[in-house]
Amino acid sequence: MRKVILAVALLVMMGLVVGFYPGYVEKPVKDGLGPMAIRLDPRFPAPAYHNPLNWWQTHHMDVVNRGDFTQQDCLHCHQPQTSCNNCHTYVGVPEIVDSQ
């Protein structure tokens, strides 16, 4: 009887783990679909220094920390809710707050 109770408890625990396991969260992608899509205003062409894009995505904070640009410079073209904070939330860094 004890083995049956243990087996049932194990099955219930496994069912709970599978049932409440976090779902897949799609990586934010420029011009992608869905709530994590990165949208940039098409009126502003990407400047040459944003190429290659994958380097810029991972090193843009280095450029800001060095003082080449300020966060306010970035906000002339980028809207935090549609082109910054999706990625910032995804990777777990503080969100950008538009102080304008």
> What are the domain boundaries of the chain?
27-91
Q: What is the pLDDT along the chain (100 residues), one digit of tens a residue?
A: 899 999 999 999 999 988 888 777 777 888 788 777 888 778 878 788 888 888 888 888 898 899 998 888 888 888 888 888 888 888 888 998 876 5
Which of 36, 40, 32 lies closest to 76 in space, CA to CA?
Answer: 40
pTM more than 0.75: no
